[in-house]
Amino acid sequence: MAGSGSERAAVELCKGINGLDKVYLYGGHVTSWRNDQREELLFVSTKEIFKPPKAIRGGIPICFPQFGSNGSLEQHGFARNKFWSIDTDPPPFPTTSKSFIDLILKPSEEDMQKWPHSYEFRLRVALGNGGDLMLTSRVRNTNGDGKPFTFAFAYHTYFSVSDISEVRVEGLETLDYLDNLENKERFTEQGDALTFESEVDKVYLGAPTKIAILDHEKKRTFVLRKDGLPDAVVWNPWDKKAKTMTDFGDDEYMHMLCVEAAAAEKPITLKPGRGVERKTGTVSGSFKLL
Ligand code: BG6
C-alpha cells in the first residue's frame, strides 16, 4: 500500500477475488474494476499520467463540492484533485462485503481559503460477493461557526464499452434534461432508449434509481444503481472534442461512456453537525440477444 504523499498512491483491492481493483489516494479515485473473466469494466485513457494537477481521465472521479462549472471553484470541484487518506477509523457501514476500503478527505487551511467550510468526506469502495462495485459517500458538515454549506456531487463513472455506436442506455427515455451543449437549456427526451452518434453532454433530471447500459458487442449490461442522487449525467466528447483534450486519445471516445449518478441541478444543503450518505452501485451482468 503506498503512502498518502505519493503521486502514484494506488491501493490494490480484492486481489484474486474478483479481479484487481485499484483505488488511487489521488482523487479518492477508483480506476480498475474487473469481472470474473478478468475483463476491465472501467475506461481509463491511455494518455492518463496519474499526476496532479489534472484529475485522472477515466475510472470514477468524485465531483465535489461543485458539478461542472456551476460555481466559483474549478470544474467539478476539488475532491478529484486532492490526496485522500486511508480512513483508519471509519464509522460502521452496513455491508456484507468482505472486500472494501475506506478513504477520507478533510480540508487543509489552504483549501478553506477557496471553500470556507469544514467537512469530513468519507468514501467506502466495496466489492460485493457477486462482483458488484459499490461506492458510498458520507459527507459531514463540521463547520464550527454554525453555518450550513451547500454542495453538488457526482460519481463521474467512465464505463468501458466496445463500440459506442452499439451501446444503448435504458431508463432515461422521456425524461427532462439540461443540455450542456445548448447553454443548459431544458428539453425532454423523446422516444426509445438512448443511442449515440455524436457528442452528448446532458443532465437528466429526476432520473430513476436504476439505469441500464447495454453493450451489444460485448453482450454485457451494466446496471447503475443510485440512491439519493436525483440526476444522471450522460457524457461522451466524440471525435472533435476528443482532439482538443490532451489527456484523451483521439479515438478513445468510441470505447467509453460516462453515466454519472449526480446531484447536479439542485445542490445538497447540510447544517453543521449533520451528515448525508449517497450511494452508487454498478453491477455487471450479461444479456442474451433475442
Ligand atoms: C461531464 C460534464 O460530467 O464531464 C462535461 O457534463 C465535461 O461538461 C465532462 O466536459 C468532462 O469534464 P472534465 O473536467 O473531466 O474534462
Q: Which domains does the chain have, with CATH numbers?
A: 10-286 (2.70.98.10)
- Count of beta carbons in the 10 Å neighbourhood of residue 174: 9
Residue of 3, 31, 28, 6 whose CA lies nearest to 139: 28
Distance CA 102, CA 93 (A): 10
- The pLDDT value recorded for residue 276 is 87
| Residue of 195, 180, 106, 115 whose CA lies nearest to 142 | 106
Exactly one of 29, 76, 117, 156 is catalytic; name it: 156
Ligand 1 atom having least distance to the Cα of 202: 6
Atom 14 (ligand 1): residue with closest C-alpha?
Answer: 75
How would you label 149-166 residue by residue, b for 16+ Cβ within 10 Å and e otherwise?
Answer: bebbbbbbbbbbbeebee
pLDDT tens string 16-38 = 444 446 899 999 999 999 887 88
225, three cell numbers: 444503481
CA 10 to chain centre: 17
Could you say which residues of the chain have pLDDT below 50? 1-8, 14-20, 285-290
Phi, psi of 165 (to 5 degrees): -75, -10
- Give yes or no: 255 in active site: no
Model ipTM?
A: 0.99
What DSSP string runs through 145-186?
TS--EEEEEEE--EEE-S-GGGEEEES-TT-EEEEGGGTTEE
Residues with CB under 6 A from ligand 1: 55, 68, 75-76, 156, 180, 201, 233, 235, 260
Catalytic one among 76, 252, 260, 265? 260
Q: What is the pLDDT of residue 36?
A: 78
What pLDDT does 9 receive?
59
Task: Judge if pTM exceeds 0.90.
Answer: yes
| Active-site residue, 216 included | no
